[in-house]
Chain A
Amino acid sequence: MSEISMVVNGRSVSATVEDRTLLVHFLREHLGLTGTHVGCDTSQCGACVVHLDGKAVKSCSMLAAQASGSEVTTIEGLADGADLHPVQAAFREHHGLQCGFCTPGMIMAASDMIRRHPDGLDEKTVRAELEGNICRCTGYHNIVKAVLAASKSMAKGKGGKAKKAA
């Protein structure tokens, strides 16, 4: 068993867990944050993506103990109170989700992608950058649209300009 502690969605949490506990299971089963999902066993579907110290990672592919001492943001912590994060809002507006199962991972991946591309995104880049997230419902068409729209709106929000935005 390991004593672990981390900051999850701005809240300090600590617990004693089996060392083999994956971060995703810690989030879901110990903290009740069931928005983060598990869709595969081989680290490919991306339904489990969370932000670890500000960067997108697959919470199914790391132990909770490995994340101890870090800051974790999950889909539940992305919105600012009642105000949706621009990526969340764009997914809804552009119908970037259907069954909703891959959606939390998609949104966490997309917000990380936009962070890493402050100069804007184009369709080809968005599609390439979504390599680690599988959706079976949408054919990605509207997800791509939503990410591009969010990227644009966030650039505007910062007063910047999305140079490459399609």
Chain B
Amino acid sequence: MAMEGIGARVARKEDKRFITGSGSYVDDMVVPGMKHSAFVRSPHAHADIKKIDTKAAEKMPGVIAVLTGKQLKSDGIGNLICGWMVHSKDGSPMNMGAWSPLAVDRARYVGDAVAIVVAETKGQARDAAEAVEVAYKEKKSVTDAVAALKKGAPQLHPEAAGNLIYDWEIGEAAAVDKAIASAAHVTTMRIVNNRLVPNAMEPRAALGHYDRAEDHHTLWTTSQNPHVARVVMSAFYNVAPENKLRVIAPDVGGGFGSKIFIYPEEIVCLWASRRTGVPVKWVADRTESFMCDAHGRDHVSEVQLAFDQNNRMTALKVDTVANFGAYMSLFSSAVPTYLYATLLSGQYAIPQIHCNVRAVYTNTAPVDAYRGAGRPEATYVVERVVETAARELGVSPAELRRRNFITSFPHQTPVIMNYDAGDYAASLDAAMKAADYAGFEKRRDKAKKAGKLRGIGMSCYIEACGIAPSSAVGSLGAGVGLWESAEVRVNMAGTIEVLTGSHSHGQGHETTFAQLVSQRLGLPLDQISIVHGDTDKVQMGMGTYGSRSGAVGMSAIAKALDKVEVKAKKLAAHLMEADEGDIVIENGELKVAGTDKTVPWSQLALAAYAAHNLPEGMEPGLKEGAFYDPTNFTFPAGCYICEVEVDPETGRTEIVQFVAADDFGNIINPMIVEGQVHGGLAQGIGQAMLEGTHYDAESGQLITASYMDYCMPRADDLPSFQVSTSNTPCPGNPLGIKGCGEAGAIGSPPAVMNAITDAIGDNDLTMPATPQKVWAALKAATRH
């Protein structure tokens, strides 16, 4: 059975349906009587809504209803909220503006939903949406966060004077300033982290179905966390009480964070279904996704890193402005604070760190967690400034890093985090060896002869996954706990269902979670089913994000398995008249150690349910549940090395090699872990070289609203990756898992930018390093 257990490269159970076209995504769902919908959206970045005239639209063919924000409000539907309270440094709570699912009197970004049309067909709904007459009075807009903070900038929300949501800090400002003042060297940079559009390949979709007979609501939605969606929609949006609301997230085509949040469309579809009496489906087209999905990143930071005369870091000072868009999305406040500033120590022993963050409203799509969420921004700050410092100090980037690595654990950083385990030098060594770092200068010379500019760059990242424990995040302002729940249900004939609150949208939980069960009980994978994504089936869950499903979700399963094992052993001991302590579970059998006495697993299960012969006081059945609340974050870390070749004539950059050496702790399925790294790297490389989100500064229009202008990484933009892992097991959870879902996207952007800036000798290049920008930088360099 070891072949299918922990550590085995098992092909995925879920693949069968995906490769044959039998997956079921929300858009594939059909319920009797289902109708289609289209949203009327603001074409303006900022405008007062004077009047909405729906009469003409209502008369269009096939139209069932045209509903507006006024009706929504009169039905008592609440505003969308941000679920994590952050306080400014003066102690005041964050300034959250109202976000109605359908804008009532003002639209604040291009795409802001204003009305919904329900019609027989999608085409008819769209035809009618065009016929809804909205009288807008345009206002001046602002899309840039730094500009939005300036005096006289257009104001978005009366609740947030000066567009400032909060002005937050962490660390000791005075101590940091003092260290900087007395430093032997200070590296100063302005670092911009570009706004990204997540672009899961499946556009968001919702199907709301109100069943009048049962007075019950069902929502099929593209969600990473259906249980969270249910509680938020019940407790805050007043859509339906939890016991009257079932949320189903079936197969979901990628999320990367963008499907964590509760969006207006799913609320409105469900409400519209209740109001019209028909099931209402909405599926985003790609341009809607570009306009309305929560975007990621968008930070501007002023950074100073101080060193003593021995090139040891003495202090880091960071002042960040974070663009939040037009409204505060569900987890937005936590991203540039507790998921960002707390990681600014990187892999380094930095005695003093201070970070100030101002969160700002602008007339753009809301910004929230996107793969990595805060940690890519932190890593980019740290790894760009460290690399730059090495250049300024004239020392090897690897050696400067090595000199400042944290080497003993646990390590308390000045910014909350307590690192539990790691071996940063091991990853650095592995990556340098794999990349033949020593041979780089030769390759650079060779490239030069061919008219190309070669550069090499590294990035030593650390991140924090499995955000926890609940008591700690609660004290930091989180509205919920960050545990996970699981139930292991042994059926009468011995097959197993595991109900998990984690949600798989590409991560392969149906396989890895089953591998854990297989390892523990010695059963083949096909006898183990993983059930997720339905609030009627799985009692509770917090969902999948922040690389938490392995470390937290599987730990909950492990705990439930512990309980199943205890009961199974007790029953087996009773059946075989042996001592409980002598029972072992192996290859699908319960054995009395040192004897030939065995009970097959299937027989034991049957005995548990037949209940003809149970030990005194034992309840029938074999089904156990568990909640797992971690004791700490986990800290995956690693080293990435990128080597590029720039064509100076066109500015085109080619990645000639990319090496990733990661420490994810224990690994369940190496094939799946590698896949996660590959995907993360592609997104990080996309951020560094290809993906830029542009709003027109004057009109506030989103210019990059389709794949014609937003550059998605394609196969020929990327190399094959060289990935490897080392392992310092995580002491914080029973499985020793750290998490692997985000590392690639966190560690790679600085590696790429360090390589390109190395190649072209211009350190001010910003992401994405497009051919045009690289060419312009080279041209500017030859001018002076």
Contacts and interface: CB of A to CB of B under 8 A. Distances in A.
A141 B20 contact: no
Contacts of B17: 100
Interface in A55-113: 74-76, 78-79, 84, 88, 91-93, 95, 97-104, 107
Interface in B7-27: 11-12, 14-25, 27
B11 A92 contact: yes
B707 A99 contact: no
Contacts of A39: 201-203, 253, 286
Contact of B286 (A40, A99, A141): A40
Interface stretch (B163-171, B422-430, B715-723): B715-723
B587 interface: no
A14 interface: no
B708 interface: yes
A144 B714 CA distance: 12
A100 B671 contact: no
A126 B715 contact: yes
A42 B289 CA distance: 13
A38 B679 CA distance: 21
A41 B286 contact: yes
A52 interface: no
Contacts of B27: 28, 34, 37-38
A142 B15 contact: no
Among B254, B681, B715, the most chain A Cβ lie within 10 Å of the Cβ of B715
B648 to A, nearest CB: 22
B505 interface: yes
B238 to A, nearest CB: 32
B422 to A, nearest CB: 25
B200 A76 contact: no
B251 interface: yes
From B19, B203, B679, B682, residue with most partner A Cβ within 10 Å: B19
A6 interface: no
A35 interface: yes
B123 interface: yes
Contacts of B287: 41
Contact of A131 (B201, B507, B715, B720): B715
A44 interface: yes
Interface residues of B, number: 56
Interface string B114-131: 000000000100000000
Interface in A6-61: 18, 20, 28, 33-42, 44-45, 47
Nearest to A108: B21
B679 A131 contact: no
A76 B714 CA distance: 25
B21 A33 contact: yes
B712 interface: yes
Interface size class of A (residues with CB under 8 A): 35 or more
Contact of B201 (A18, A28, A34, A99): A99
B513 interface: no
B708 to A, nearest CB: 5
A22 B253 CA distance: 22
A44 B708 contact: yes
Contact of B200 (A41, A99, A130): A99
A32 B708 CA distance: 30
A130 B506 contact: no
Contacts of B479: none
Given A95-B672, A100-B506, A76 B706 contact: no
A98 B675 contact: yes
Contacts of B713: 139-140
Interface in B196-216: 199-203
Interface string A122-139: 010011101101111111
A143 interface: yes
B232 interface: no
Nearest to B286: A40
A28 B22 CA distance: 12
Interface string A143-160: 110000000000000000
B706 A37 contact: no
B21 A131 contact: no
A131 B123 CA distance: 30
B28 A130 contact: no
Contact of B254 (A75, A76, A93, A101): A101
A103 B17 CA distance: 11
Contacts of A107: 19
Given A99-B506, A100-B14, A140 B718 contact: yes
A34 B123 CA distance: 19
A1 to B, nearest CB: 13
A139 B123 contact: no
Interface string B692-729: 00000000000000111000111110101100000000
A76 B16 CA distance: 12
B47 to A, nearest CB: 25
B536 interface: no
B192 to A, nearest CB: 23
A142 B678 contact: yes
Given A92-B11, A101-B25, A102-B201, A136 B708 contact: no
Contacts of B15: 91-92, 97, 100
With most chain B CB atoms within 10 A of its CB, the pick from A34, A75, A98, A141 is: A98
Nearest to A40: B286
Nearest to A47: B201
A140 B19 contact: no
Contacts of B21: 33-36, 74-76, 104
A142 B675 contact: yes
A135 B18 CA distance: 14
B718 A84 contact: no
A142 B12 CA distance: 14
Contact of B23 (A35, A78, A126, A133): A35
Contacts of B254: 98-99, 101, 136-137
Nearest to A35: B21
B721 A98 contact: no
A139 B681 contact: yes
A128 B11 CA distance: 27
B667 to A, nearest CB: 14
Contacts of B708: 42, 44
B418 to A, nearest CB: 32
B748 to A, nearest CB: 10
Contacts of A143: 715
B256 interface: yes
B20 A79 contact: yes
Given A99-B254, A137-B506, A92 B12 contact: yes
A103 B256 CA distance: 17
27 contacts: A28-B27, A34-B21, A37-B27, A40-B286, A44-B708, A44-B712, A45-B201, A75-B21, A76-B21, A84-B19, A88-B20, A91-B19, A92-B12, A97-B18, A98-B507, A98-B675, A99-B201, A99-B202, A99-B505, A101-B25, A101-B200, A126-B715, A128-B715, A136-B199, A140-B678, A140-B714, A142-B675
By Cβ-Cβ distance, the 5 closest A-B pairs, closest first, are A35-B21, A101-B253, A100-B18, A99-B506, A139-B682
Interface of B: 11-12, 14-25, 27-28, 123, 199-203, 251-254, 256, 285-287, 505-508, 671-672, 674-675, 678-683, 706-708, 712-716, 718, 720-721, 744
Given A28-B28, A93-B11, 13 more contacts: A41-B285, A41-B286, A41-B287, A42-B286, A75-B19, A95-B674, A95-B675, A99-B251, A99-B253, A104-B21, A134-B707, A136-B201, A141-B720
